[in-house]
Structure 1
């Protein structure tokens, strides 16, 4: 579904909220080159198709007065996704300059928009009124290129924080409340900021034994020093327990802050950086910095000798942190970064894109959606048991890949929105991809269980049939093994026990594919019971033969 706009789109933002809730409509904000902001409501993606807007009007009613909505309803009714449509909520122009980037607040009630001159505009989502405008503190600042609203409670429970990056490579931390401005800034990059990702938990890098021992010794030394300081304060303050407890909390704060909340930044200078926004800027280390050194709490990667244009994180299957970071480059490569190995350099690369990868968004824990400058949005599997591969084209911003470059892609649930150098936004339903991923994972598990069952049946079939009392029936076992291997042609003459013994110790019947089918069926039904139960059932089956 294509949504026409009044001018070229520069950035997109989807409203936050729990996915799939009917009472939470999906809103799309678009920043335009003309300085306008358009807010659209997407129906058919979050379960609120028949609810309409806040005024009670459905898309069909709005079609009578809104030509844009009318075209959307008619086009959606003729397509396979007849329930998917959109409605225009409002249009606002906070600046005469172009709107470079925007994002919703964590609550979804406020829209943050940055204009080209560096001003930050607070817009009320419900009424479209401009709540406040914060002008840049100094003239000739770099134009904002990216912005990201941090989740509520990520750093402070009482503040709404916002991060922005500009064309000069400066990363700024803003207080999102009305009338507030820049809190801190970092200038370790020297080229434009291309993407920002907030990691609630970034897995610490693995260290060797010597480094662990060194860190443990340093930790014990800090604890002893803090203990002596607390004892001195006790004697000086007359054993004030409340103050001592507050001092203990201050000493324990750095250890809790190692809780690994980090901001990951990519830049056109070819480096990736990790910023700990909690790190103090007034420490001795910050005061003794040399020109060009990164500030405390900042880690900068090696130069990748290529522009890093986009960034996304793959969620970990354990639910804690990210398993991989995926970075798109100017040369069309996807580079993989592992937090557990440190973020000083990439660990793997995936070639294949014919042009630069300008936008990235994660689909699941193994697959990403890439927006390239050839106008195509592709699905690429970067990890998993089936290896790295291109899965196909999800959206096309031109005829056969010759369209406008894809500058932004955003996803919430099964709704994917993308825009390029054009006056339209493309909305794609990727819910089927999410369902197919679940089916593929179930199929992979089924194939693994079937392979395990076949391997178990093969092992049972070729294993020698021993007796419980090997010392008494050793001769019969040798005769049986000889008959199975084809070397027991005279076994009937050497049998001292006669026909009865040969009947008791007859070799097992050969296992054919037809005889394995019931075994595999029974083993699949018992797979949840564990390997031990499956093995016992297989042995009983062959014993019955």
Structure 2
């Protein structure tokens, strides 16, 4: 989808929960709404300017019928139930009343992001003062339910993984801090480096994608929108590129379960990216990589097996060479002792020799049939093919290895 120009810097965006409609809050104080379709066409629906000061935040009611905006003019227009400001004050509002219900002043620097935990009715806030706080909106106390230790860095963005059990925090130095709700809010349990610049925005991916419960979208000040898998940590790829402009906000349409992700920075355009193309392509590449790994593993095993066979063939060749040499020497010796005897022998002697051979063969067969124990069979085989044993005390008798050189001991006398 082509970029949607708005003519001014965008501070926030929000998608309609059920329609192809997106709202943007601008530096000029305007709120602009755009419709879009699956083919990438878009159209401006309306423009409103509730304040002459910049619009810093937008929110929609659950059914999308009401749009609330907060801005630099310190006013809430058609109002949001919670808002934060540059002084670190968090205010809780009831749209039916003109005044804020409660104000929280435990942060002393700007409020960067909010996260709503519906199961506990807790509001999590991140601040530039380096702390994370949790507010129980059902309590009438003006103190937070919990507040973290100083993380020694500005906390800029919030998201959840693992069905809301872990909270991910983006920081100014590019670290993703992991908080485990079961371990409390005092300190993070893990820190994941890798981003070269600050992580200004975080967003969850739709739940129907693989590993969605451990994958988030990160918007960095280097202008790249990334897909990152956490625990185990893996960079899945770059989703969108804003060039040299930092990314300030990320949102997925259709209540976070849609096809399009919107990202905004300082380049005065709204960029919509098709998540379906990104994650389906990544899935196909992962399948190909797995097939290649399987083939490489099979090839590696094959190489090892081939190497083992070659070594085995070399040992067998050595044994066969020794046996042939012994047989040859025996034949030569027998020839020297019995030379001329063959010419004096008569046919009867040859018949007697053949008979002796037949008797030996019959006797061997009968013996095998009478006693068929495997132990004796292997013992006989070892007797026939037994190689000379190596005597560790007789080093001169040791067989030369492939990478060894046998030398006379006197060679070392002069060293």
Counterpart of 1:405 (choices 230, 240, 246) is 246
User: How many angstroms apart in 1 are the aligned matches of 2:84 and 2:290?
Assistant: 43
2:326 paired residue number: none
2:82 paired residue number: 163
Q: Is the 8 A contact 2:124 2:135 kept in 1?
A: yes
Counterpart of 1:329 (choices 171, 176, 191) is 171
2:122 paired residue number: 262
Q: Secondary structure at the match of 1:30?
A: strand
User: How many angstroms apart in 2 are the aligned matches of 1:441 and 1:87?
Assistant: 37
1:389 paired residue number: 234
1:303 paired residue number: 150
2:92 paired residue number: 173
Q: Is the 8 A contact 2:236 2:282 kept in 1?
A: no
1:424 paired residue number: 269
1:277 paired residue number: 137
2:194 counterpart of 1:352: yes
Structure 1 range deviating more: 428-437 or 95-104:
428-437
Shift of 1:279: 1.5
Q: Using a 3 Å threshold, how does the CA distance of structure 1 residues 493 and 425 change in structure 2: closer, same or farther?
A: farther
1:107 paired residue number: 63
User: How many angstroms apart in 1 are the aligned matches of 2:188 and 2:151?
Assistant: 9
User: How many angstroms apart in 1 are the aligned matches of 2:28 and 2:240?
Assistant: 26
Shift of 1:313: 0.9
Q: Secondary structure at the match of 2:213?
A: coil
User: How many angstroms apart in 2 are the aligned matches of 1:181 and 1:438?
Assistant: 51
Q: Using a 3 Å threshold, how does the CA distance of structure 1 residues 438 and 120 change in structure 2: closer, same or farther?
A: same
Q: Is the 8 A contact 2:13 2:58 kept in 1?
A: yes
1:12 paired residue number: 13
User: How many angstroms apart in 2 are the aligned matches of 1:331 and 1:41?
Assistant: 36
User: How many angstroms apart in 1 are the aligned matches of 2:167 and 2:135?
Assistant: 15
Q: Is the 8 A contact 1:414 1:434 kept in 2?
A: no
Shift of 1:42: 2.0
User: How many angstroms apart in 2 are the aligned matches of 1:493 and 1:166?
Assistant: 103
2:229 counterpart of 1:369: no
Q: Using a 3 Å threshold, how does the CA distance of structure 1 residues 9 and 495 change in structure 2: closer, same or farther?
A: farther
Q: Secondary structure at the match of 2:249?
A: strand
2:51 counterpart of 1:95: yes
Name the TM-score, length of structure 2 as normaliser: 0.65
User: How many angstroms apart in 2 are the aligned matches of 1:497 and 1:110?
Assistant: 100
Matched ranges for 1:453-492 at <5 A: none
Which whole-Å deviations, capped at 9, do the CAs of 1:470-514 have from their partners, x for residues lacking one? Answer: xxxxxxxxxxxxxxxxxxxxxx99999966x98xxxxxxxxxxxx
Q: Secondary structure at the match of 1:182?
A: coil
Q: Is the 8 A contact 1:167 1:192 kept in 2?
A: yes
Shift of 1:84: 2.1
Which whole-Å deviations, capped at 9, do the CAs of 1:410-430 have from their partners, x for residues lacking one? Answer: 113221111111211111011
2:26 paired residue number: 32
Counterpart of 2:40 (choices 84, 89, 106) is 84
Matched ranges for 1:232-251 at <5 A: none
1:312 paired residue number: 159
Runs of 5+ unmatched residues, structure 1: 18-24, 45-82, 123-133, 135-148, 150-161, 202-259, 287-294, 455-491, 503-545
User: How many angstroms apart in 2 are the aligned matches of 1:494 and 1:310?
Assistant: 87
Q: Using a 3 Å threshold, how does the CA distance of structure 1 residues 38 and 302 change in structure 2: closer, same or farther?
A: same
1:130 paired residue number: none
Q: Secondary structure at the match of 1:322?
A: coil
User: How many angstroms apart in 2 are the aligned matches of 1:8 and 1:406?
Assistant: 11
Q: Secondary structure at the match of 2:116?
A: strand
User: How many angstroms apart in 2 are the aligned matches of 1:423 and 1:117?
Assistant: 21
Aligned-pair RMSD on alpha carbons? Answer: 3.1
User: How many angstroms apart in 2 are the aligned matches of 1:324 and 1:90?
Assistant: 38
Name the TM-score, length of structure 1 as normaliser: 0.50
User: How many angstroms apart in 2 are the aligned matches of 1:498 and 1:176?
Assistant: 101
Q: Is the 8 A contact 1:367 1:383 kept in 2?
A: no
Shift of 1:91: 0.8
Matched ranges for 1:22-61 at <5 A: 25-44=19-38
Shift of 1:379: 1.3
1:529 paired residue number: none
Shift of 1:362: 1.6
2:312 paired residue number: none
User: How many angstroms apart in 2 are the aligned matches of 1:443 and 1:345?
Assistant: 40
